[in-house]
Amino acid sequence: AQKVTQAQTEISVVEKEDVTLDCVYETRDTTYYLFWYKQPPSGELVFLIRRNSFDEQNEISGRYSWNFQKSTSSFNFTITASQVVDSAVYFCALSEIIQGAQKLVFGQGTRLTINP
């Protein structure tokens, strides 16, 4: 069965610090996709990144970067120079295809609080 583990339930840092959110996954599929979503207090899940299992290149988007390592089944997310607006719950997710559509298996989420 597919599983995503986000071991850090809550993280609290001071603004401008760098912070890394961990994500470890389990799957038997050779082809799969990994995602990160942000859920601010307003409740809407905001898509951040999608990565397929054949692409292990790290990705950087502004202050956000992602490190995908198949050898350790990890897909970690780093925020550099954190800001108060980064405060949210962050979910890592793994896809599986069921009956022609994608089912997201979510981790339990990491609540990130950035203090001014």
Partner 1 sequence: DAMVIQNPRYQVTQFGKPVTLSCSQTLNHNVMYWYQQKSSQAPKLLFHYYDKDFNNEADTPDNFQSRRPNTSFCFLDIRSPGLGDAAMYLCATSRQPYYEQYFGPGTRLTVT
Closest distance to partner 1 from the beta carbon of 18 (Å): 25
Binding region for partner 1 (CB under 8 A) out of 14-22, 41-49, 55-63, 67-75: 41-49
Q: Which of 12, 20, 102, 113 binds partner 1 (CB under 8 A)?
A: 102
- As to burial, measured by CB atoms within 10 angstroms (0-12 exposed, 13-18 middle, 19+ buried), residue 93 is buried
**Contact call for residues 106 and 39 (beta carbons, < 8 A):** no
Kindly state whether residue 46 participates in binding partner 1, applying the rule CB under 8 A. Answer: yes
- Give the tokens for residue 47: 């898509």
**Contact call for residues 78 and 64 (beta carbons, < 8 A):** yes
How are beta strands 19-21 and 46-52 bridged, if at all?
A: unpaired
Kindly state whether residue 108 participates in binding partner 1, applying the rule CB under 8 A. Answer: yes
Beta bridge partners of 37: 47, 91
Q: Which C-beta is closer to partner 1: that of 43 or that of 116?
A: 43
Kindly state whether residue 97 participates in binding partner 1, applying the rule CB under 8 A. Answer: yes
Q: Which of 109, 110, 112, 114 binds partner 1 (CB under 8 A)?
A: 109
Spell out, one character per residue from 52 to 91, where the chain touches partner 1: x when CB under 8 A holds, - when not. x--------------------------------------x
- Give the tokens for residue 40: 């601010």
